[in-house]
Chains A and B, each alone.
Chain A
């Protein structure tokens, strides 16, 4: 199917799977689920995030980097060599796909930050902070180089194409993960390019998103105060960095972070008990600039769990289901039934109420 095939539906599609017992499954399931929603996208972006795929390198950061041309790779690697021990470096394994005629050069590195670097000691940076700084530096300072995955034992795979094409391109079925998310894109306000496909990741955090973050400008300026650099030309990027800031840096639990990002309306806060009202008022005031406005359904993946959540008035669809130790989430019920025909429970989460699924033990 060409990218110009008649498209009359808009809306992006997303899907996620978590095995709470940590059992790893091939990427073919998530791809099958996503392909059922092909018509929610238009071929201008698709991608996957997977957790548990690099057990042999689980202590190392796995960098997935796309380069526009060899010079970008040379500059990037020069920086990496100075600051990281590079355990392994290889071209990303890909397969030829007829419809994908243009792609960036994609490389994969398993690395560990060098501890003796003066730059780090002076700033008292821990490994995670240093990796975040590296991602921001490469993405904003080395033209044509984009780190699109930087976590441990996880990875993002994304590009311009339909979900099935991107899955074949990255040979998704050869990876085994205990959490998978996937996305098919229908870009509306921002360009469809390889770096703009979902998921958006930083360290272990990954986001796939259907909708628009209308508060992008406010959120962007807020994040910039903390040193984040927004380079990927689309709104979803802010969601990933907001979770990094709220959960990793500020130490909020996932539920509280989701509540700050999609907080209750003031009229509902007014009805709460005094102490709850005070807590919610404080959260809204402290994180006023982190509040995400606009229509969205989002899947947020991290190494210990999967979270699905909606904007406060449910302007985008989200369905969740369970079967045994597995939790499924998707834009459409049929996408779940495609890989799990008879779930034990299937429901549409309420607006602003996150579905939180975590690994056991």
Chain B
């Protein structure tokens, strides 16, 4: 394992060290004392696991294709932008605009997430990105979603009065699926969204993804599956298909 002390290091220099380690074939990299450095793991290929101690800066894991990033603390905005494959595990909360245009791989967050999570997420056949958040989400969850899977769990229950998912959930959604543990108020969803109960196939899919999630955070899958889920899907595959065809 290679240990890199990131204290006070500018993001360019830090990321160069990380890329050099991965290029050398280092499978385990530990970044200590990270605070605010941007772009960690961006465009990185291969199979390495990079563990981050401290709060990494914005644009973590953008365009990442393969590696696993483990963040022991909170993380900031714009994580997994257009990520292609690999995995990001965040033990704390994460910020806004997560998984923007994400096209593969997994993003697991133990805590709350901010606004515009899963915006423009897409998927096709085997390219099936998954974002799972253990807490609550802000507004515009799954906005313009075109593919992939978003799961929101609200594991810590009613600590405050805000609903599990924020306003404008799934606005402009035309593909993919959102699962929310607990009830969903139709008023908080975009006009394009249909709310149903998950069927057996859905539950199987949920259990498969959540089993992996539970392993990352040492959680009990049976406890989580005890809760009821709602499934949000686009009511029409082509909501604007007639826009220019009167």
Which chain A residues have a beta carbon within 8 Å of chain B's beta carbons? Answer: 9, 36-37, 39, 271, 313-314, 317, 319, 332-335, 337-338, 346-348, 350-351
B115 at the binding interface (Cβ < 8 Å)? yes
B114 touches A36 (CB 8 A): no
Question: In this assembly, does B15 line the interface, its C-beta being within 8 Å of a C-beta of chain A?
Answer: no
CB under 8 Å from chain A, chain B span 51-107: 54-58, 74, 76-77, 93, 95-96
Find B36's partner among A9, A37, A314, A350 (CB 8 Å cutoff).
A37
Complex Cα gap A348–B187 (Å): 24
A37 to B77, CA, bound (A): 14
- Which one of B55, B56, B115 lies within 8 Å of A351 (CB-CB)? B115
Q: Count contacts on B: residues with CB < 8 A to the other chain.
A: 23
State whether the Cβ of B141 lies closer than 8 Å to any Cβ in chain A: no
Task: Indicate whether A338 sits within 8 Å of B96 (C-beta atoms), given known contacts A333-B74, A333-B76.
Answer: no
Flag if A332 contacts B36 (CB, 8 Å): yes
Q: Contact check, A314 vs B74: say whether CB atoms are below 8 A apart.
A: no
A314 with B57, Cβ < 8 A, contacts A335-B36, A350-B162 known: no
Nearest residue, chain A, Cβ from B77: A317
A337 to B56, CA, bound (A): 11
**7 contacts across the A-B interface (CB closer than 8 A):** A37-B36, A313-B140, A332-B58, A333-B95, A334-B35, A348-B138, A351-B138
Chain B positions within 8 Å of A, measured between CB atoms, are 11, 35-36, 38, 54-58, 74, 76-77, 93, 95-96, 112, 114-115, 138-140, 162, 187
Taking a contact as CB atoms under 8 Å apart, the answer to whether B36 and A338 are in contact is: yes
Tell whether, in the assembled complex, residue A348 and residue B36 are in contact, meaning their CB atoms are under 8 Å apart.
Answer: no
Write the chain B residue with the least CB distance to A341: B35
| Residues of B with C-beta under 8 A to A338 | 35-36
- Chain B nearest CB from A268 CB (Å) reads 8
Give Cα distance in the complex from A242 to B57, angstroms: 34
Which B residue's beta carbon lies closest to that of A6? B12
Residue in A332, A347, A351 whose CB lies within 8 Å of B76: A332
Given A337-B55, A350-B138, A314 and B35 contact (CB-CB distance below 8 Å): no
Residues of A within 8 A of B58 (CB): 9, 332
- Cα distance A319–B95 in the bound complex, in angstroms: 9
The answer on a CB contact under 8 Å between A348 and B114 is yes
Asked if B139 and A334 sit within 8 Å, CB to CB, the answer is no
For chain A, what secondary structure do more than half of its interface residues adopt (helix, strand, loop), or is it mixed? loop
B74 / chain A contacts, CB cutoff of 8 Å: 333, 346
Q: Which residues of A contact B139 (CB under 8 A)?
A: 313-314, 351
Q: For residue A315, which residue of chain B has the nearest CB?
A: B115
Whole-angstrom distance between the alpha carbons of A319 and B74 in the complex? 12
Q: Which residue of B lies closest to A268 (CB)?
A: B167
Q: Closest Cβ of chain A: how far from B201's Cβ, in Å?
A: 35
Q: Which residues of B contact A346 (CB under 8 A)?
A: 74
Q: How far is the CA of A313 from the CA of B140 in the complex (A)?
A: 9
Please give, as numbers and ranges, the residues of chain B lying within 8 Å of A271 by CB-CB distance: 187
Other than the given A334-B36, A338-B36, 13 more pairs (CB < 8 A) read A39-B11, A313-B140, A319-B95, A332-B77, A333-B55, A333-B74, A333-B76, A334-B56, A334-B57, A337-B36, A347-B93, A351-B115, A351-B139
> Of the candidates B35, B56, B112, B115, which one forms a contact with A36 in the assembled complex, judged by CB atoms under 8 Å apart?
B35
Pair B55/A314 contact, Cβ less than 8 Å: no
B93 contacts which chain A residues (CB < 8 A)? 347-348
* Also in contact, A39 and B77, with CB within 8 A (given A314-B139, A350-B138, A351-B115): no
Cα(A196)–Cα(B236), bound, Å: 49
User: CB-CB < 8 A to B56: which residues of A?
Assistant: 334
B35: A residues at CB distance < 8 A: 36, 334, 337-338
Bound-state Cα–Cα, A337 to B33, Å? 11
Whether A314 contacts B114 in the complex (CB less than 8 A), given A36-B36, A335-B36, comes out as yes
Tell me the bound Cα distance from A218 to B4 in angstroms: 52
Top 4 A-B pairs, shortest CB-CB distance:
A334-B36, A314-B115, A334-B35, A334-B55
Output the least CB separation between A243 and chain B (Å).
25
**In the bound complex, CA of A245 to CA of B72 (Å):** 46
A319 to B114, CA, bound (A): 11
Nearest CB of B to A201, in Å: 28
CA distance A37 to B58 in the complex (A): 11
